[in-house]
Chains A and B, each alone.
Chain A
Amino acid sequence: MITYRRRATPLHAARAGVVVAWGAVLGVATLAAAHPIALAAVACVVVVAAWSAGAGRQVGRAVLFALPAALLIAVINPLLVRQGLTVIWRFGEIPPFGQVDVTLEALVAGAVLGARAVLIVAVAALLAAVVDPDEVLRGLRRVSFRGAVTAALAVRIAPVLARDGRRMALARRSRAAAPPSPTARERVAVVRAVTTGALDRAVDLAATLELRGYATATRVARVPRPWSRHDVGIAASAAAMAALLILAAVEGVPRLETYPRLVTDAGGAAMLLAVAFVAVALAPLALRRGVAR
């Protein structure tokens, strides 16, 4: 489970809004670009940013979690998509799919879709590890108070319930009559007990919210806060990445067309754009002054 932990890094030091915007641009870049060079540039940014923010392990675990789904996409796409002209494998008649021909174009398109899925998960994991959820939810409370508090509780209680579940699993193992591996019935019993425990916790939390004035809450005021060098640096980085994305879209580089025939362009302009993208994305992470709080 990914949990926010304040560390002395530029991504943690910047305000939540600009880090979310910076991550959103990375997400848009992942969805807008299909060319492997562009995807590699985004991957490079995510890896270096996660490592420099001390979140490499968390992001790595999220990527491992997403890999099976990405592989599934990469495998299923060429089996199901009937586009592309370069047939590289003929499976013949396979019910219920009918005639199945694997094309190079569908294979590449599937790989690109899988890579995008992994990158989106990695970007989300990076944001979850470096953005203070309280700061995000505090902003949301101005828009939808109850929705934001509910989301805050979900963020807070998820690791508590995970811990409850681990404790109950341990208790199951220490029963006198516990078999080495639980039966399906025992698993259901543990899940039911964790659910009951969650309801108990929910009642206690509801009482806490009552006592803290949830029922009579007023609109939360905006907190004025001066822009730090990290706020400015990461906001400028997000703006520069967005400008490069627009430039790439206007110029049509790097170009990758999958159907009906694979057309790719990996010229100097594409490489230059990718390098520039990585440089502007990572530049603010070199600012180390004032990162601790």
Chain B
Amino acid sequence: MSALRFEDVTATFPRRDVPALRDVSVDIADGEFVVVAGASASGKSTFLGAACGLVPHFHGGAFAGRVTVAGMDTREHGPADLGRVVGVVRQDPETQTVLTTVRAELAFGLEHRGHGPAATARGVEEVALALGIEALLDRSVHELSGGELQRVALGAALAGRPRVVLLDEPTSQLDPVAGDELVWLLRRLNEEWGTTVILAEHRLERCLAAADRVLAFADGALACDAPPRDFLTWAGTQAPLLATPGARLLAAAGLPAPSGVKEARRSLRDAGLLDVEEDAAAPVAESRPRRRRRFARGADATALRLRGLWHELDGGRAVLRGIDLAVRPGERIALMGRNGAGKSTLLRHAAGLQQPTRGRVDAAGRVALLLQHPGDYLLHERVADEVSPAALRGAALDHLAERHPRDLSGGERQRLAMAIVTGDGPAPAVLCLDEPTRGLDRAQKAELAHCLRAGAPAIVVATHDPEFAAQVADRVVLLADGMIVADAPAAEVLSGGWYFATETARILGGAGGALLPEEGAAHLERRRRSLTEVPVR
């Protein structure tokens, strides 16, 4: 039976000429796990909006065709009715929680739909147990981390046991650990409860292994509807930016595209390119903070130096504990660690926006900081009013000078915000960026990485994205509980772990220190040659 059916659906938002969805027809069966892929503004969110009735009932605009969810026609039933069969989780967990405590939040939808007190209490207990959030039930939502809040939002969506759950980039604000846990949780719900899961996501390598099927959108149209492996084969030729690093790695080795690390390793092992003994014997990269070596250098060799930096909250915990870090001119450092590890606080100290409770910060010049939300920099009605014409030209945004800043795309906003913080005067000695890849698709990330690699100043970028870190950084600093737990070349840190490792490194087990598919392909080629060469005695 169909859980969700689109029949020739075309949707156009108000005051827009181009449809956001064009002639989309798709039939999703009960219990399927579907990943929705596509670049930014390709129609993924509109597709999910149409599936829950927000398009057109909430957003308005022109709508043609027919969408049925569990047999309910969205033209006849609004989002409130459809909410009985569809649960929705969106990108920003802050705007998905309505009440103050987790228990009340989970009960809210059930109470609205007329469940009695006993049924509501039972629903809350069951969904809390299923998602492992029972310890949070009496906590205030203000106290929760991003990952916990996103779980609560998922719990609120699932509390009425909907047949279909729609998720629009739910991992975009989570660290790799919380993101992987959420995907694992969705797979469990799908397998144990039979819930149909439809997940829109940019980081496909995170979720393809769990998926039964992939829908890829391009310019509002459905460009591909296939199982993960076939989708990756299609993406390899038709939409390279949607191909996962693993698929690119194996394609370069002439092997079929894998849907995940496990499958990729099996293919490589079968092809004799991943030696079991070598894999088992591969040493774990030893990454130590390089404090002494760094401080042995002359003072003029550093663009930024943090010495014994502490940030202790009044009546609370220590967010940073004795951080020693030196950044050389032109060096590119990725700052990694789970949410709450102290990355953002460290960057704010580097930029002089916060005063350390102990320790000091020395910089060879201005330290520019691009904060997490580029939208926070946009204070005016016209793009031209935000920065000088020269800075606007430098950011290649001069053709958008008359636009409202909030009408820019994610990537354009990011460039404008960067122009605002760097300005058109002397270049800063250090450019710090806090989670700059949030909500960006692969093309926008590649563009940002290119821009950062081309820039002259030293770069310190806090990121959860190992692929981006591998593209940008030559050194990785891993923070945990406000302390540096690893400080080493990127090839060393990002190839020796599970969470803070690229997909290529996980597939190859860290062999050769390869982080990106191209490096991995070169390593595989060397291995292939070594296998075919006849030993000379």
Are B78 and A215 in touch, CB under 8 angstroms?
yes
CB distance A222 to B78 under 8 Å? no
Residues of A within 8 A of B100 (CB): 3-4, 132-134, 152, 155-156
Interface hit among A45-53, A70-78, A165-173: A165-173
Given A152-B99, A167-B371, A210-B79, do A175 and B420 touch, yes or no (CB 8 Å)? yes
Determine whether the beta carbon of B83 is less than 8 Å from that of A211: yes
Interface residues of B in 46-65 (CB under 8 A from A): 52, 54, 57-58
Residue tally, chain A, CB below 8 Å to B? 58
Q: Is B406 an interface residue (CB 8 A)?
A: yes
Cβ contact within 8 Å between B99 and A216: no
Q: A3-B142, A189-B379, A223-B117 are in contact. Are A152 and B353 (CB under 8 A)?
A: no
For residue B13, CB closer than 8 A to chain A, the reply is no
B380 close to A (CB within 8 Å): yes
Chain A residues lying within 8 Å of B104, measured Cβ to Cβ, are 132, 134-135, 138
- Least CB distance, A2 to chain B, in whole angstroms: 11
Task: Report the separation of the CA atoms of residues A217 and B420 in the bound assembly, to the nearest whole angstrom.
Answer: 46
Question: Is there a chain B Cβ closer than 8 Å to A250's Cβ?
Answer: no
Give the docked Cα–Cα distance between A167 and B94 (Å). 15
**Interface size class of chain B, counting residues whose CB lies under 8 Å from the partner chain:** 35 or more
Q: Which residues of A contact B370 (CB under 8 A)?
A: 174
A201 touches B95 (CB 8 A): yes
CA distance A149 to B105 in the complex (A): 12
A192–B379 touching, CB < 8 Å: yes
CB-defined interface of B132-175 with A at 8 Å, one 1/0 digit per residue? 00000011111100000000000011000000000000000000
Q: Does A221 contact B (CB under 8 A)?
A: yes
| Listed residue (A173, A216, A224) with the most chain B CB atoms within 10 angstroms of its CB | A216
Contact of B117 among A3, A6, A222 (CB under 8 A): A222
B108 interface residue, CB < 8 Å from A?
Answer: yes
Chain B residues closer than 8 Å to A155, beta-carbon distance: 100
Q: Bound state CA distance, A210 and B80, in angstroms?
A: 5
Q: How far apart are the CA atoms of A220 and B284 in the complex, in Å? A: 57
Instruction: Name A186's closest neighbour in chain B (CB-CB).
Output: B379
User: Using a CB-CB cutoff of 8 Å, which residues 143-175 of chain A contact chain B?
Assistant: 149, 152-153, 155-156, 159-160, 164, 167-168, 170-175
B351 within 8 A of A: yes
Complex contacts, A224 vs chain B, CB 8 Å: 117
- Residue-wise, chain B 168-189 has the 8 Å CB interface mask toward A (1 for contact) of 0000000000000000000000
B114: chain A residues within 8 A (beta carbon): 218
B406 (CB) vs chain A CBs: closest residue: A196
When C-beta atoms are compared, the residue in chain B nearest to A1 turns out to be B142
A223 / chain B contacts, CB cutoff of 8 Å: 117, 120-121
A194 → chain B, closest Cβ, in Å? Answer: 10
Chain A residues in 8 Å Cβ range of B368: 174, 176
In the complex, the answer to whether B353 meets A193 with C-beta atoms within 8 Å is no
Shortest Cβ-Cβ A-B pairs, 7 listed: A176-B423, A134-B104, A204-B95, A171-B376, A213-B112, A215-B80, A189-B379
A residues whose Cβ falls under 8 Å from a Cβ of B: 3-6, 57, 132-135, 137-138, 149, 152-153, 155-156, 159-160, 164, 167-168, 170-177, 186, 189-190, 192-193, 196-197, 201, 204-218, 220-224, 293
Q: List 14 A-B contacts (CB under 8 A).
A: A132-B104, A167-B371, A168-B379, A171-B371, A172-B379, A174-B353, A175-B420, A190-B379, A207-B54, A207-B79, A210-B78, A212-B109, A215-B80, A216-B80
